[in-house]
C-alpha cells in the first residue's frame, strides 16, 4: 500500500507540462517502476515514531527523485556508460545526453522544492528545515557525489575494504539513512528515536549494497533488468571480490540481525513494516 | 563590500576536504571571480526591507552555487561545448566530464542544504522554507532547466520574440528574481515589499540577458573572457538578431527605467545599491 501511495504521489509531482521533452524524460526514469525502497522506508519511519504517513509523502517523493537523479547521471557515457536500467534503455539512450543531464538536475532541485512547498503546515517549519539539511548532506560532496567520485577514481586500482565501505556508505547507505531519518523527523520523533532510526538505516544501507554486489555476480542481465557482471568486468571493488560469496552472505546476515535489534525498542506492530523491509532487502532476487 | 563578504563566505562554504578532487572542481568554478551579481542583489534586497545583510549570507551563497552549477553543466560537450569561461578552461576541460557533472550536482544540492543548515535561528524557519521553495522553482523544470532545454531545442530553427523571451526569462531572469525575492523574504519583508522586489528583479533579469546578447556581438573573446560571437555562429536566437543592435539598446534603456521606478517606493538610501546595480548591469562592458 505504501509503494502504491508513493507511485501516485510521484505521478502527480511531475505532470507532463511544457517544456514536454524535459518532463517526459523526468517521468520516464522516475516512474519506471523501481521498488521504491527509500520512500517506503521514509513513510514507515514516519509512522514508527507516531506520525501519520501522509505527512511524509512529499519527503518520500523527494528521496525517490534524488535516487532517480543519481541513476540517470551515473548511467551517462562519461560515468558508468550503461545502456539498460530496469529493463529499459537508460535515460540518455532514450532522450539524449543533454536532456538526461538536465532531467537529473531538475529532479534534484525539485526534490528540495517539493519538501519545502508541499509538506503540510501541520509539520512545524523547523522540522521541514531539518529534513532538508539532512537530505542535502546525503546527496552532495559528503554524500552520493563523494561516493561516486571515489568509485570513479578507484576503478582499475586495488581497493581496500575500508575504501570499499566508504564508496558504498556514500553511494547507497547515506540516502537510505536520510530517507529513514527524514521520515522520523517529519513524523515528530524525539532525538533518541531519530538516532535509533539512523542506526537501523546504517545497517540496512550497507546490507543493500552487499546484496546488490552478490546479485551482480550470481544473476543474469535478463533476471536483473540491467547489465550483470559489470562490476567484475569493469574491475570495480565489490564485497564478493573481497570476502568471497560466502563471506559476503555471512556479512549480510549479521547486518540484518543488527538492524532488527534496533527495532526491538519500538512498538512491535508499528515496527513490522521495517522488520519486513530488512528481510526483503536481505533476500531480494533482483 | 557586499561582493567581498560573499567571496569570503563562498570560500568557507566549500572547504578543500576529502574527496579532494570533487571539492577542487567545485571551488575552481565557484571561486573563479565572477561578478557576484546575484548574491549582491540578494544581500541588497535583504537590507532594503530592513533586514541585516548577514541574515541572507547563506542564501546569497546558495544562489551563486546554483548559478555556478548551471554554467558548469551548460558548458559540457553535449550542451554548449564551451572551452573557455571567465578566461579559464571550463570545468570539464580542467577536471574531466564526469567530475564536472558531479561538481554541478554537488553545488546544486549544497545550495539548498546551506540555506537550511546555515541560516541563523533569528530568521523564522517558516521564512527559510519559503525561500527554499522559491529558489527551487527558479532552478528546476519550470526555471533554469526549462530555459536550457527550450534553448537547445530551438537551435538551428527560426525563433519568435515570444520564444526568445521564454528562454531568457527561464535561463537568466528567474534566478535573478529568486535572488532578490529570497533576500526580501529572509530580510523580513512583507507581501507587498516582496512582490515589488519581484517586479524590479524581472526587469533586471531581462536587462541582464539583453546586455549579454549585445556584448556577444560587439566584443572580442579576449575582452569577454569567453568565446565571443558564439550565439551568432551557433544560430542561437538573440535580441540584436531580432531587434537590431539599436533596437536592443533601446529595449535595455526601457528596462532600466522600469526597474528604477519600482525602487522609488522604498527608502532612498537603502535603495541606492539596487539603483546602482541596475545601472551597472545596463552599462557593463564584459
Q: What is the DSSP string of A207-274?
A: HHHHHHHHHHHHS-HHHHTS-TTHHHHTT---HHHHHHHHHHHHHHHHHHHHHHHHHTTS-HHHHHHH
Query: Looking at chain A from residue 120 to 139, which residues have their Cβ under 8 Å from any Cβ of chain B?
Result: 124-126, 128-130, 132-133, 135-137, 139
Looking at residue A103, what is its pLDDT?
Answer: 98
Residue entry with cell 570533487: B22
Residue B226 is predicted with a pLDDT of 64
Q: How many helices (H) and strands (E) does chain B have?
A: 15, 2
Q: Write down the ipTM of this complex.
A: 0.91
Q: How far apart are CA A145 and CA B166, in angstroms?
A: 32
How many angstroms separate the CA of residue A172 from the nearest CA in chain B?
Answer: 16
By residue count, chain A amounts to: 286
Mutate to test the interface with B, among A59, A77, A98, A169 (most CBs of B within 10 A): A98
pLDDT of residue A217: 85
Among all residues of chain B, which has the CA nearest to that of A167? Answer: B19
Nearest to A109 among B106, B140, B149 (CB): B140
Instruction: Say whether the peptide bond before residue A90 is cis (omega within 30 degrees of 0).
Output: no
Residue B149 in contact with partner chain A when CB distance is under 8 A? yes
What does the pLDDT average to over A95-110? 98
Q: How far apart are CA A200 and CA A260, in angstroms?
A: 7
Q: Which residue in the set A96, A106, A126 is minimally distant from B140, CB to CB?
A: A106
Q: CA–CA separation, B71 vs B69, rounded Å?
A: 5
Measuring CA to CA, which residue among A128, A70, A149 is closest to residue B136?
A: A128
The mean of the pLDDT values for chain A is 92
- Residues of chain B in contact with residue A137, where contact means CB-CB under 8 angstroms, are 113, 117
Tell me which chain A residue has its CA closest to the CA of residue B99: A149
Q: Pick the residue from chain A with its C-alpha nearest to B78.
A: A98
Q: Distance, in angstroms, between A272 CA and closest chain B CA? A: 32
Mean pLDDT calculated for residue range B228-240: 68
Provide the CA B94 distance to its chain's centre, in angstroms: 23
Helix, coil or strand: residue B31: coil
Among residues 63-102 of chain A, which lie with CB inside 8 Å of chain B? Answer: 69, 73, 76, 78-79, 96-99, 101-102
Question: Which long-range contacts link B250-255 to residues 24+ away (Cβ below 8 Å)?
Answer: B251/B210, B252/B207, B252/B210, B252/B211, B252/B214, B252/B282, B253/B282, B255/B203, B255/B204, B255/B206, B255/B207, B255/B210, B255/B282
Q: What is the mean pLDDT of residues B82-94?
A: 94
Retrieve residue B219's grid coordinates: 566584443
Interchain pair A116, B124: CB under 8 A: no
**pLDDT tens column, A125-149:** 999 999 999 999 999 999 999 999 9
Q: Of A281, A86, A44, which Cα lies nearest the Cα of A179?
A: A44
Q: Does B148 touch chain A (CB under 8 A)?
A: yes
Is pLDDT of A268 > 70?
yes
Q: Which residues of B touch A110 (CB under 8 A)?
A: 136, 140-141
Alpha-carbon gap, residue A76 to B73, rounded angstroms: 13
Determine, for residues A22 and B149 on separate chains, whether the beta-carbon distance falls below 8 Å: yes
> Residues 6 or more apart from B280 whose CB is under 8 A from it?
none
Cα dihedral across residues B231, B232, B235, B236: positive or negative: positive
Cβ distance of A133 and B152 shorter than 8 Å: no
SS percent in chain A: helix, strand, coil, step 5: 75, 0, 25
Q: How confident is the model at residue B221 (pLDDT cuts 50, 70, 90)?
A: low
CATH architecture of B2-283: Orthogonal Bundle (1.10)
What integer best gives the mean pLDDT of chain B?
92
- Nearest chain A residue to B129, by CA: A116
Q: What's chain B's length in residues? A: 286
> What pLDDT was estimated at residue A92?
98
What mean pLDDT is predicted for residues A262-267? 93
Query: Are A62 and A200 spatial neighbours (Cβ–Cβ below 8 Å)?
Result: no
CB within 8 Å: A136 and B110: yes
Residue B138 neighbours by CB under 8 Å, 6+ apart: B66, B144, B174, B175, B177, B178
Name the residue facing B101 among A14, A76, A126 (closest C-beta). Answer: A76
Partner-chain contact A145 B101, CB within 8 Å: no
Cβ B140–A113 below 8 Å, yes or no?
yes
**Is residue A278 over pLDDT 70?**
yes
Domains in chain B: boundaries: 2-283
DSSP B36: -
- Whether A103 contacts A29, CB under 8 Å: yes
Distance of CA B188 to the CA centre of its chain: 22
Amino acid at each position: 500500500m505504501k509503494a502504491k501511495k508513493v507511485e501516485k504521489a510521484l505521478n502527480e509531482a511531475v505532470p507532463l507540462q511544457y517544456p514536454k521533452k524535459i518532463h517526459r524524460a523526468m517521468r520516464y526514469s522516475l516512474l519506471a517502476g523501481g521498488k521504491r525502497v527509500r520512500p517506503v522506508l521514509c513513510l514507515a519511519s514516519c509512522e514508527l515514531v507516531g506520525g501519520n504517513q501522509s505527512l511524509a509523502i512529499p519527503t518520500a517523493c523527494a528521496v525517490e527523485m534524488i535516487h532517480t537523479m543519481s541513476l540517470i547521471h551515473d548511467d551517462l557515457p562519461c560515468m558508468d556508460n550503461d545502456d539498460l536500467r530496469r529493463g529499459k534503455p537508460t535515460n540518455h539512450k532514450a532522450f539524449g545526453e543533454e536532456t538526461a543531464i538536465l532531467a537529473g538536475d531538475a529532479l534534484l532541485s525539485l526534490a528540495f522544492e517539493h519538501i519545502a512547498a508541499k509538506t503540510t503546515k501541520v509539520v512545524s517549519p523547523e522540522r521541514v528545515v531539518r529534513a532538508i539539511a539532512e537530505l542535502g548532506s546525503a546527496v552532495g560532496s559528503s554524500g552520493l557525489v563523494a561516493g561516486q567520485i571515489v568509485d570513479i577514481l578507484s576503478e582499475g586500482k586495488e581497493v581496500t575494504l575500508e575504501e570499499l565501505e566508504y564508496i558504498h556508505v556514500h553511494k547507497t547507505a547515506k540516502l537510505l539513512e536520510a530517507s529513514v531519518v527524514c521520515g522520523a523527523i517529519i513524523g515528530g520523533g524525539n532525538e533518541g528515536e531519530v538516532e535509533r532510526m539512523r542506526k537501523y538505516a546504517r545497517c540496512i544501507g550497507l546490507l543493500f549494497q552487499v546484496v546488490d554486489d552478490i546479485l551482480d555476480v550470481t544473476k543474469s542481465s535478463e533476471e536483473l533488468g540491467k547489465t550483470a557482471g559489470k562490476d567484475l568486468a569493469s574491475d570495480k571493488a565489490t564485497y564478493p571480490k573481497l570476502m568471497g560469496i560466502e563471506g559476503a552472505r555471512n556479512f549480510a546476515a549479521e547486518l540484518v540481525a543488527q538492524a532488527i535489534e534496533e527495532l526491538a525498542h519500538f512498538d512491535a506492530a508499528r515496527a513490522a513494516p521495517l522488520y519486513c523491509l530488512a528481510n526483503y532487502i536481505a533476500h531480494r532476487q533482483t
